[in-house]
Every structure is written in structure tokens, then in C-alpha cells.
């Protein structure tokens, strides 16, 4: 982004015009073909590419034909003025089917057991291109499955397509640099830190790698409920913890239990979360939650109705106000409550009770 | 924040002082780390502990707790002496430069290094030069600047530095306090403060009084500023406050000097606690009112960059659990008011009328737009960067501030400095995070972080349960021997009731803003004899 602006912030970018699948579209010099296509609503199949991450051109699925001749990976190839790009023809379709077939052969992709079923980019393309696993005997190395060392992240490398998005997520989004590849060729596999398992590593459980994993190789440990991905209901809200104000998509299952969260790209967090935003929500559905008004009678809390509790509070407050004046009453409002709720507490104290004794934990 | 989170990539570099960003504001921490590691931005970190960001820093200053003002004055001393400051900005946008110049005159690098306990005074010079070369530099701070008896002066110092460098009113610059609670900004904006109505309109002002009397149909609003939180506890202890209404706060855990707080609460004729759990504070209540948790409510919250965002109802609450606003309204109406709010949207409509900075913000707009206050009209796009053309008072005022020592100095009896804070997997008093499985499993217990040298002197081992005492009290807690803190400084997170850090902390306050000095008190760490 930086080199696109001069010192005074004026955009130096030149507009360029390219043709994608016969349609004329505009982009900026310095953008890749993939980026121009995305900006113009054209979807080129891809697995290792993600708009938040640096580009590697590893999966080859985004190959396009340029000017009727060259095949290039559109995620790494810069768009040039006047370029003509074909995103799919019979040849490209054949290559994509062949690539997807190889991925199916190399891994152990069984959607029946997979948490990513219904939320998997590999599955999406396999369906789209109608690919089936070949029955030829292909020597493969069983890879590591680690469902136990971390209470946050499950890893099944038999579902890994070595796209490296998790590594880049950890390096470029969370910047903890935990994940890495080791060894070469068909032996290539994922390691955490200096060849540790994830639960024994310096992982801070932000979950960025899982959110950006295109398959079920990395998945979240269940926290509360579970459910089929296509049955989950999604609603966004704002994280309750620190002041960054991350926007989060919460997913709940048919029973109404929270299942998982994803960082929402529209929030100040741009889709990223920390361990608290990612996993710190099950308290809401904790069995320890208060469910009934309580009053202390003879030193013990007993359940009472709302009317009894509220009348008691109002009567006592009025009594104190009448006897000792409004300044004998104080309120603590809450940095965990909404603007509307804070507004009402100070209005109650000032407008109804008549004191400015209202504060909250801003200084704590 | 004067500036915005999305400007992080626009900064040439960062000064992080008194903020353990990657643990307490992890998403912002990651954005800064990304710029430094992957985009070659520069970073200066000042913190008593070797926090994660120190690994990424060009210069890291492990200062003694409570000496922020000295090192900031030291940076400014170098910048003025070497004439590296932004002369145009200082000439056209500020006043009081001579006052600042005179004040920082004596803060030579060697003098500062001595106050701050630093070994390399020449690094102060080098870092100051580096900061002057960053155009623009963003300054981020948090409670490591404010939670001192000199907290207000610490904040003034950060503003002095950024004005001196001309980093105010520009994208990618600014003074950026990171707020520690998701709606602490909003609670302040809404006037949940003893001296101000919504939008920081002072209560001790005849016009404001009339304005709110008219808006609320109220009579004789008090013009006497109220008590701050710690003052309330003192007044309750003294029997002057007799009734307290506490919504969603846990002062038994979060306030300094826990024993004093408990005595104060026990002294009340009426304590009403409205919360989602039976908290440590709720145990002392006469009445406990169950309220909705964040995923069960509608409303708005304002983040650290003044962005007002919608919260949606994701889950249905249990049958007898009520919205906080509904409960407050019920209490008000049973005391004679006749409020008729149907939902949060109704309340927000009223907020807009009395809060000029929110006047242009609507529920419909924030669903689609990114709006940061001030936003005075419906057509206004909101304000990404404050103080672009002018400061609120016109010209920016330099205030030369002297370093003053913390309230409690170490001595023979209490030879170590105790500082407190949070850890990544937990949050504040733990009401939420300790009831969340993954978080609680990840950090299930408190610890006292002790420097290896101190551990040898005290004859304690990593993982050993030790006793930590101050003049207020004493706790037992596991030692974590790590080179993270400076020698002679120990750190305890305050989330854990089993080893409650605030049983130890001191309740002295900044004279201006009444913030308690959580970040420094004198303590003693002892081996427990079997």
C-alpha cells in the first residue's frame, strides 16, 4: 500500500485496463490479476491465496491463460495494461481437476468426520469441478493427528493441503510466528516452534490459523455446543473484553448453544481476534449465571420476585434520600454495559435521586 | 485515541509506553507487530517489564515503575537540545514551549537514566533521534501511564512529546490511550462520571444544569461534583454514603486495598448489585438483580477509537433475567419517575438530543457506516483524527511537568516494588474469563513474577508458593521466576481472588483525576517456612 502513495498522500496509481473473460475491467498498476478480478466481482478458484496474506502461488489452482498463450498463477502475476485474461477454458478446467484429484489422493479427506464439512474451500472446489478420489494406489505418508495437546486448536494433518495459509496467518496477522513447514517433498509437514506440538508451543490461541485454514486440517476445539455447519445461525456483535471493540460473528446451533466465533472483517479488528474474543464467550451460557432476583434474609440469599426486589430497592433508596439526603447514595455504572444503560444510570442518579455520585471503573 | 486503529499502517513508527499491548489489546498489538516485523517500521518500547513487544523493539527501556515522566522529559530534552522538534507545528499550533523547554532542561540522559534505573543513557539520545525521524510516529499508552499518583502529569507528558514532534492532527500519529474495557469510552461519554453530564459537559455549570433540567423535566439538579469510585468507598467506610447501586462492577476485586473496600460495603444500609454472576461484590449485597449478558442485549458500545458500534442480541436470556436498562428504569419509576423506554433504541434517541458529539449517530447509520464521534449532524461523516486544524482550546498547551516519585517508596521492611496488571487469557476481575473454559484452563492461577536475582536472594524457586506482603495485607501465591521484570520489581496479575493482588495495592490517588496508584507499591516477598 505504502508505495502507492507519495509523501503528501496523493495517489500515484495509474489506472490500467484489462480484459477478463472478454469483459473489460479496470484496475491499478501494482495489483495482481487476482486482485483486479476480485475488485470486479470475478471469482478465480484459489486455495493458497487469501486477501489478508502475502502471496505464494503454491496451490496452482488460480492458473489463468494470459493473451491466449501463457499460463500464470493469477494471485502472483501483476496485471498489465491491455492484458487479456481467460480464467477458465477446457484446458484450465482439466488442470484444476487434475490438481484437485492429486490433493484428494495425497490427503485423507473424509468429510463425514470433518468439522469443516460444509465450511471447506477444498470441498467447495471438489464439488464445483466434480472430482472424485482416484482409486489408483498412491503411496502416502500418514501424517500427525493432534487433538489433545491444545484446548483451543485441533490439528489433523491428513487433511492439510500444504497451502501455508496458517503459517502466513501466524506470521502476518497474529505475528507470533509459531507455525512453520519442515522437511521436503512428500515429507513436508507442519510444525509449531522448534518441532513441538501446538499445545506445547508458544501459541497464544488467537485462532487466526484456524479461521484462515481452507480445509479441516486446523479446527477449533468444541467449547459449548456442536452442530453441522449449515445448521448454525450467525449473528454479529461487539466483543465484551478490551476496548479495541472487535466485531465478532457468533454461531449458535439448533439448541441455541454457542458453537464458535469468527472475526468479522468489517470491525476495527479486520477479522482478527485474540484468545478472549475467540474462546471467552461460554460464560454467557454458564450454569452459574444468576437467573432470579435474590434478597438477603437472615444472612442467606433467597429467591424473590422482581416486584419484591425492586420495591425494596426503591423504598430503601427513598428512605436514605429522605433521611440523609441524596448525596448519601452512590452508584457504580459499568464499562461492560451499553451506552444506553450507562446513560440511564447517570440519569437515575442525577435526575431522580439528585446526586452526582456516579462513577465506573474507568480508572481501574 | 486521537487517531484510529486503521491508521496503524500509516505510521512510520511507534512509541509504546506503559502498555503491554500484545496481552491487553492483542489485536492492536498484532497490527503493530506486523508493521514492525513485516513492513520494517520502527518501535520504541518503555515498560518496567520485558513485554513481548520489547522483542520487536529497536530500543527498549526497562524503567523503574513510576518514572515515565522522567524518561519522556529525557526524550524531549534531547529533541529540543538537538533542535529536532517540528518548529512549524510548535510555532503555529502550540503555546507554552518556553515553559516546557525550561522544565526539561535538567533532564539530561544521565540524570534520567539514574531516575529510571537504566544502564545506557546514550540509548535515550539515540531513541529520541529515532523518534524525531519517524514521520509520523504514533504514541500508544495504557494504564502504565495513568495508574500513578502522577497519572495526569504522565498523560500531559505524552501530549507534550507528540506536540513537540508535530505528530498531532495527522493520520498515523496522535496520542492513543488504549482503553481496557469494551465500553469504558462510552461509559465516560454517557456521563457515568461524577463531574460531567454526557459528552463531558460539567455538572458545575449553570447552563448545563438548565439544559438537563429541561431535557429531563427535572428540578434542582445538583451542581456539586460527586465522588469518584475510591472516594465513594472511603465515604461508605466513614458512614457518609449509606446506599450503593452497583451495576456490572466488582469493586471487591478491582479496587485497591480490598480489606478497606469490604469493610466499606459491609457498612452500607443498602447495597444493590446488578450482575450476571454472584460476584465477590454481590456476596455483600442486600439485593442482587440478575441482568442480561452482552450477547443477550441490544445497544451500542464505543471503542477506544471513539467508534460507536451496534451490539446485537445473539442469544435469548433466561426467563427471569432482565436488561440492565429495564432494571434501572424500574427503580427510577418506583422512585417517582415516569420513564417510558420500550427498548435501547428509544434511549439512544434521547442520548442524541443531549450529547452533541453523538447527535448525528443513528442506529441505522452504524449498521452500515464506520462512525467515530464527534459526529454533530446526520450528514457528518464522523471524526477519524482529532485536532486536525485546532485543539479544543485553540492552541495546544505545553505543560512542563516534573517527575515526582511514587507515593510509596521501598524501604528496609518492604524492599521490592510491586506492580500489577493483566495477563492475556484472563480479564479484569475474572467474572467472565474465569467462567470461560478455554481461558480458565489456559491461565488457572495467579503468580508473582520475580527476577532470577531476587529469587536467589530470597532463596525461592520457580513454582514455589511464597508470601507477598505490603502495609495493607498479605497473600500466598506461586512464584514465577523469570527475567521479565526488572530486578527489585515483582508483578502480580489481579484476576484471581485466591491470590488477590488488590489486597496488597495502595489506595492513594492522583490529586487531579483520583486514579489509584495500582502500578507501584512497596512489598516484601518471603519464603514460607515449612
Domain shared by B316 and B255, yes or no? yes
Nearest CA in chain B to A286: B435
CA distance A313 to chain B (A): 7
* A231 and A303 co-located in one domain: no
| B248-283 pLDDT tens trace | 999 998 888 889 999 999 999 999 999 999 999 999
Domain that holds residue A63: 16-88
Environment class of A147 (CB within 10 Å of its CB; exposed 0-12, middle 13-18, buried 19+): exposed
Q: Which of A63, A88, A113 is the last residue of a domain?
A: A88
Tally of domains in chain A: 4
* A220 in the same domain as A306: no
Per-residue pLDDT of B325-339, as tens digits, reads 999 999 999 999 999
% of residues, chain B, pLDDT over 90:
91
| pLDDT band (50, 70, 90) for residue A2 | very low
Give B-chain residues touching A2 at CB under 8 angstroms. 9, 39
User: pLDDT at residue B422 above 50?
Assistant: yes
Any domain includes B400: no
CATH value at residue A203:
3.30.70.20
Q: What is the pTM of this model?
A: 0.93
Q: Are residues B243 and B360 in the same domain?
A: yes
Contact at CB, A244 and B287, closer than 8 angstroms: no
How many other CB atoms are there within 10 angstroms of residue B21's CB atom?
25
Instruction: With CB atoms and an 8 Å threshold, state whether B433 touches A285.
Output: no
The domain spanning residue A64 has which CATH number?
Answer: 3.10.20.740
Domain match, B218 and B340 both: yes
Same domain, A266 and A203: yes
Residue A134 included in any domain: no
Give me the domain span that covers residue B115: 5-178
The answer to whether residues B255 and B233 touch, using CB atoms and an 8 Å cutoff, is: yes
Of A269, A281, A306, the CB nearest to B295: A281
Query: In a 3-state reduction of DSSP, which class is residue A302?
Result: strand
User: In terms of domains, do A275 and A171 share one?
Assistant: yes
- One domain for residues A159 and A278: yes
Between positions 21 and 80 of B, the ones with CB within 8 A of A are: 24-28, 30-31, 33-34, 37-39
Residues A273 and A153 in one domain: yes
**B361–chain A nearest CA distance, Å:** 13
Q: What is the DSSP letter of A45?
A: P
| CA of residue B320 relative to chain centroid, distance | 34
Verify that B420 and B363 share a domain, yes or no. Answer: no
CB of A150 closer than 8 Å to CB of A198: yes
> Are residues B127 and B108 located together in one domain of the fold?
yes
Quote the DSSP letter at residue A79: P
Burial B124-144 (b: 16+ CB within 10 A, else e): bbebbebbbebbbbbbbbbbb
> A350 — phi, psi (to 5°)?
-80, -50
Q: Are residues B468 and B492 in the same domain?
A: yes
Helices and strands counted in chain A (H then E): 8, 17
Query: Residue B429 is part of a domain; what is its CATH number?
Result: 2.40.40.20
Residue B386 counted as domain residue: no
Same domain for B40 and B174?
Answer: yes
> Are residues A229 and A151 located together in one domain of the fold?
yes
Q: Are residues B143 and B192 in the same domain?
A: no
Query: How confident is residue A11, by pLDDT bands cut at 50, 70 and 90?
Result: low
Which residue in B304, B240, B237 sits closest to B265, CA to CA?
B237
For residues A169 and A55, membership in a common domain is answered with no
Judge if B71 and B193 occupy the same domain. no
Average pLDDT of A36-58?
95
Segment B96-146, tens digit of pLDDT: 999 999 999 999 999 999 999 999 999 999 999 999 999 999 999 999 999
pLDDT for res B530: 65
pLDDT tens digits along B169-201: 999 999 999 999 999 999 999 999 999 999 999
- The reply to whether A61 falls in a domain is yes
What domain count does chain B have? 3
Which of B178, B207, B237 corresponds to the end of one domain? Answer: B178
Task: State which of B368, B390, B425 marks the end of a domain.
Answer: B368
* Residues of chain B numbered 139-198 and touching chain A (CB < 8 Å): 146-147, 171, 178-195, 197-198
CATH number of the domain enclosing B336: 3.40.50.740
pLDDT digits (tens, 9 = 90+) for B24-55: 999 999 999 999 999 999 999 999 999 999 99
What is the C-alpha separation between B268 and B270, in angstroms, rounded?
A: 5
Residues A174 and A60 in one domain: no
* B528–chain A nearest CA distance, Å: 31
ipTM: 0.94
pLDDT reported for residue A1? 38
Indicate whether A317 belongs to any domain. Answer: yes
If asked whether residues B276 and B144 sit together in one domain, one would say no
Assess whether A151 and A280 both reside in one domain. Answer: yes
Question: Is residue B405 a part of any domain in this protein?
Answer: no
In a domain? residue B249: yes
A311 and A254, same structural domain? Answer: no
Does B468 lie in the same domain as B342?
Answer: no
Amino acid at each position: 500500500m505504502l508505495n502507492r502513495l507519495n509523501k503528501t498522500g496523493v495517489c500515484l496509481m495509474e489506472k490500467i485496463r484489462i480484459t477478463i473473460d472478454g469483459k473489460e475491467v479496470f484496475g491499478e498498476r501494482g495489483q495482481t490479476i487476482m486482485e483486479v478480478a476480485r475488485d470486479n466481482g470475478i471469482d478465480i478458484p484459489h486455495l493458497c491465496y487469501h486477501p489478508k496474506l502475502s502471496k505464494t502461488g503454491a496451490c496452482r489452482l488460480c492458473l489463468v491463460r494470459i493473451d491466449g498463450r501463457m499460463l500464470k498463477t493469477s494471485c502472483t502475476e501483476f496485471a498489465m495494461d491491455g492484458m487479456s485474461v481467460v480464467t477458465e477454458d477446457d484446458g484450465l478446467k482439466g488442470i484444476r481437476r487434475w490438481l484437485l484429484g492429486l490433493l484428494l489422493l495425497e490427503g485423507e479427506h473424509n468429510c463425514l468426520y470433518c468439522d469443516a464439512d460444509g465450511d471447506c474451500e477444498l470441498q467447495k472446489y471438489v464439488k464445483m469441478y466434480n472430482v472424485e478420489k482416484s482409486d489408483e494406489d498412491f503411496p502416502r505418508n500418514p501424517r500427525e493427528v493432534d487433538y489433545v495437546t491444545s484446548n483451543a486448536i485441533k490439528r489433523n494433518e491428513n487433511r492439510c493441503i500444504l497451502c501455508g495459509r496458517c503459517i502466513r496467518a501466524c506470521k502476518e496477522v497474529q505475528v507470533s510466528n509459531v507455525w512453520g513447514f519442515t522437511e521436503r517433498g512428500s515429507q513436508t509437514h507442519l510444525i509449531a516452534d522448534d518441532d513441538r506440538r501446538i499445545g506445547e508451543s508458544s501459541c497464544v490461541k488467537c485462532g487466526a490459523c484456524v479461521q484462515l485454514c481452507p480445509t479441516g486440517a486446523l479446527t477449533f476445539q468444541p467449547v459449548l455446543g456442536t452442530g453441522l455447519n449449515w445448521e448454525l445461525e450467525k449473528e454479529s456483535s461487539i466483543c465484551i473484553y478490551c476496548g479495541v471493540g472487535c466485531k465478532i460473528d457468533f454461531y449458535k446451533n439448533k439448541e441455541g448453544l454457542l458453537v464458535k466465533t469468527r472475526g468479522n472483517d468489517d470491525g476495527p479488528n479486520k477479522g482478527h481476534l485474540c484468545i478472549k474474543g475467540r474462546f471467552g464467550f461460554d460464560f454467557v451460557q454458564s450454569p452459574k449465571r444468576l437467573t432470579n432476583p435474590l434478597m438477603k434474609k437472615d444472612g442467606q440469599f433467597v429467591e424473590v420476585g422482581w416486584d419484591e426486589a425492586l420495591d425494596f430497592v426503591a423504598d430503601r433508596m427513598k428512605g436514605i434520600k429522605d433521611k440523609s439526603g441524596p448525596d448519601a447514595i452512590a452508584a457504580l455504572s459499568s464499562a461492560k454495559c451499553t451506552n444506553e444503560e450507562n446513560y440511564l444510570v447517570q440519569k437515575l442518579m442525577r435526575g431522580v435521586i439528585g446526586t452526582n455520585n456516579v462513577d465506573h471503573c474507568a480508572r481501574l | 485515541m486521537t487517531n484510529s486503529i486503521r491508521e496503524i499502517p500509516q505510521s512510520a513508527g511507534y512509541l509504546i509506553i506503559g502498555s503491554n499491548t500484545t496481552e491487553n489489546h492483542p489485536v492492536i498489538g498484532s497490527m503493530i507487530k506486523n508493521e514492525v516485523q513485516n513492513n520494517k517500521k520502527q518501535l520504541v518500547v518503555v515498560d518496567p517489564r520485558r513485554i513481548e513487544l520489547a522483542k520487536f523493539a529497536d530500543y527498549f527501556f526497562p524503567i523503574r515503575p513510576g518514572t515515565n515522566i522522567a524518561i519522556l522529559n529525557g526524550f524531549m530534552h534531547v529533541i529540543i537540545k538537538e533542535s529536532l522538534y517540528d518548529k512549524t507545528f510548535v510555532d503555529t499550533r502550540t503555546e507554552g514551549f518556553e515553559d516546557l523547554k525550561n522544565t526539561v532542561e535538567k533532564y539530561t540522559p544521565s540524570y534520567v537514566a539514574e531516575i529510571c534505573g537504566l544502564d545506557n543513557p546514550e540509548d535515550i539520545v539515540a531513541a529520541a533521534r529515532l523518534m524525531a525521524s519517524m514521520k509520523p510516529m504514533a504514541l500508544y499508552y495504557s494504564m502504565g501511564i495513568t495508574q500513578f499518583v502522577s497519572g495526569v502529569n504522565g498523560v500531559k507528558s505524552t501530549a507534550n512529546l507528540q506536540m513537540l514532534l508535530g505528530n498531532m492532527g495527522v493520520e498515523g500519529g496522535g496520542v492513543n490511550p488504549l482503553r481496557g474495557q469494551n465500553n469504558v469510552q462510552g461509559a465516560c461519554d454517557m456521563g457515568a462520571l461524577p463531574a460531567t453530564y454526557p459528552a463531558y459537559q460539567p455538572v458545575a455549570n449553570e447552563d448545563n444544569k438548565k439544559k438537563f433540567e429541561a431535557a429531563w423535566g427535572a428540578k434542582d439538579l445538583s451542581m456539586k461534583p460527586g465522588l469518584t469510585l475510591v472516594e465513594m468507598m472511603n465515604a461508605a467506610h466513614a458512614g457518609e454514603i449509606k446506599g450503593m447501586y452497583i451495576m456490572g462492577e466488582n469493586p471487591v476485586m478491582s479496587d485497591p486495598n480490598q480489606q478497606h473496600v469490604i469493610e466499606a460495603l459491609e457498612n452500607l444500609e443498602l447495597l444493590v448489585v446488578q450482575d450476571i454472576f454472584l460476584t465477590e461484590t454481590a456476596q455483600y449485597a442486600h439485593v442482587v438483580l440478575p441482568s442480561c449478558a452482552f450477547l443477550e442485549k441490544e445497544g451500542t458500545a464505543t471503542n477506544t477509537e471513539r467508534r460507536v458500534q451496534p451490539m446485537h442480541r445473539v442469544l435469548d436470556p433466561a426467563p427471569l433475567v432482565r436488561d440492565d436498562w429495564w432494571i434501572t428504569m424500574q427503580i427510577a419509576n418506583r422512585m417517582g419517575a415516569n420513564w417510558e423506554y420500550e427498548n435501547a433504541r428509544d434511549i439512544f434517541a434521547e442520548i442524541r438530543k443531549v450529547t452533541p458529539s453523538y447527535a448525528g449517530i443513528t442506529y441505522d447509520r452504524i449498521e452500515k457506516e464506520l462512525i467515530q464521534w464527534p459526529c454533530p449532524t446526520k450528514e457528518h461523516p464522523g471524526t477519524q483524527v482529532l485536532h486536525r486544524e485546532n485543539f479544543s482550546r485553540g492552541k495546544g498547551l505545553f505543560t512542563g511537568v516534573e517527575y515526582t516519585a511514587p507515593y510509596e517508596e521501598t524501604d528496609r521492611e518492604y524492599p521490592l516494588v510491586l506492580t500489577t496488571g493483566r495477563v492475556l487469557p484472563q480479564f479484569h476481575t475474572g467474572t467472565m474469563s474465569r467462567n470461560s473454559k478455554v481461558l480458565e484452563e489456559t491461565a488457572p492461577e495467579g503468580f508473582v513474577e520475580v527476577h532470577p536475582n531476587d529469587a536467589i536472594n530470597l532463596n525461592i524457586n520457580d513454582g514455589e508458593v511464597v508470601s507477598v506482603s505490603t502495609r495493607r495485607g498479605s497473600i500466598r501465591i506461586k512464584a514465577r521466576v523469570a527475567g521479565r521484570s526488572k530486578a527489585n520489581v515483582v508483578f502480580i496479575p489481579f484476576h484471581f481472588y485466591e491470590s488477590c493482588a488488590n489486597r496488597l495495592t495502595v489506595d492513594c490517588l492522583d490529586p487531579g483525576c483520583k486514579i489509584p496508584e495500582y502500578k507501584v507499591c512497596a512489598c516484601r516477598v518471603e519464603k514460607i517456612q515449612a
